[in-house]
Amino acid sequence: MGAVVGTLTLQTRQRRPSSDKVDDDLELSVVCHRPEGLEKLEAQTNFSKKELQVLYRGFKNECPSGVVNEEMFKQIYSQFFPHGDASTYAHYLFNAFDSSHNGSIKFEDFVRALSILLRGTTTEKLQWTFNLYDINRDGYINKEEMTDIVKAIYDMMGRFTYPALKTDTTKQHVDAFFQKMDKNRDGVVTLDEFILSCQEDENIMRSLQLFENVI
């Protein structure tokens, strides 16, 4: 009987810390972020008012609290790529979107990045892409960073591809990239090298125009 009583009290004691955590979560979710005014955003981005409205409605519907954290972001992005694992690339994307680097994307970050990607100049787009590739934000893309990025992209393809993925596919791809981009062969790619090399490539220039009417 004493053992029974003992186990009962043990249970109640264990429960308390978890209840604290629940309270913390509640507090977090109650905190809501409201974006800056519509006019301000319209001035800062290349979207019209209507477009911003549409974007915000969708954003707010999905994230009523006004912010997207990385978990949610990964989940959302993974839904578009069911074949493979999109979480690594989503992580890099998240970092690229999260311009204030505080672990959450607010609507302004979201819309500013979209504005660059969809309505920006080619230079801005390439700059954004460079930031995406530059994982540690030191201004240079080295081979490791590039390998990580490429590997993340290939992860999204999943296992079943045609032709089948070989072990050195990633390495070959990275090497090809560096061959093209690294002008002075110093093993890293700087922003200027990157922009210059991309502007020389017809294909890339043309493709950059493709995504303009996504919204």
Partner 1 sequence: MAAGVATWLPFARAAAVGWLPLAKKTMPKPPVDKKSRNDEILFVNVSGLRFQTWKNTLDRYPDTLLGSSEKEFFYNEDTQEYFFDRDPEMFRHILNFYRTGKLHYPRQECIQAFDEELAFYGIVPDIIGDCCMEEYRDRKKENQERLAEDTEAENATDTPLPPHSTSRERLWRAFENPHTSTMALVFYYVTGFFIAVSVIANVVETVPCRPPKGSKKDLPCGEKYTLAFFCMDTACVLIFTFEYLMRLFAAPSRCKFMRSVMSVIDVVAIMPYYIGLVMPENEDVSGAFVTLRVFRVFRIFKFSRHSQGLRILGYTLKSCASELGFLLFSLTMAIIIFATVMFYAEKGTKGTNFTSIPASFWYTIVTMTTLGYGDMVPNTIAGKIFGSICSLSGVLVIALPVPVIVSNFSRIYHQNQRADKMRAQQKVRLARIRLAKKGTTNAFLQYKEEGGFQGRGSDNALCLKNRSSFEHQHHHLLHCLEKTTNHEFTDELTFSEMCMTESVGYRTSRSTSISSQQGVATSCCPRRAKRRAIRLANSTVSVSRGSVQELDTLQVHKTSAGPQSSRSSLNARTEDLKLNCEDRDFTAAIISIPTPPANTPDESLPPSPAIPGILRNSRPTSFTHETVKISSL
Binding site for partner 1 (CB under 8 A): 1, 50, 53-55, 57-59, 61-62, 76-77, 79-80, 93, 96, 110, 113-114, 117-118, 125-126, 128-129, 132-133, 149-150, 153, 173, 176-177, 181, 194, 198, 203-204, 206-208, 210-211, 213-215
Smallest distance from the beta carbon of 1 to partner 1, in angstroms?
6
Smallest distance from the beta carbon of 31 to partner 1, in angstroms?
21
| Residue 66, CA atoms < 13 Å, CB-side half-sphere | 10
Instruction: Name which of 17 and 82 has its Cβ closer to partner 1.
Output: 82
Instruction: Name which of 76 and 165 has its Cβ closer to partner 1.
Output: 76
Instruction: Name which of 102 and 172 has its Cβ closer to partner 1.
Output: 172
d(CA 99, CA 137): 11
Smallest distance from the beta carbon of 16 to partner 1, in angstroms?
27
Smallest distance from the beta carbon of 200 to partner 1, in angstroms?
12
Quick one: residue 121, left, alpha or beta (phi over 0 = left, psi -120 to 50 = alpha)? Answer: beta
Instruction: Name which of 67 and 113 has its Cβ closer to partner 1.
Output: 113
Smallest distance from the beta carbon of 201 to partner 1, in angstroms?
8
d(CA 32, CA 59): 13
| Residue 52, CA atoms < 13 Å, CB-side half-sphere | 22
Instruction: Name which of 41 and 113 has its Cβ closer to partner 1.
Output: 113
Residue environment code for 104-123, b if the CB has 16+ CB neighbours within 10 A, otherwise e: bbbbbbbbbbbbbbbbbeee
Alpha helix (H) residue ranges in 98-140: 107-119, 122-133
* Phi and psi torsions of 106, nearest 5°: -90, 175
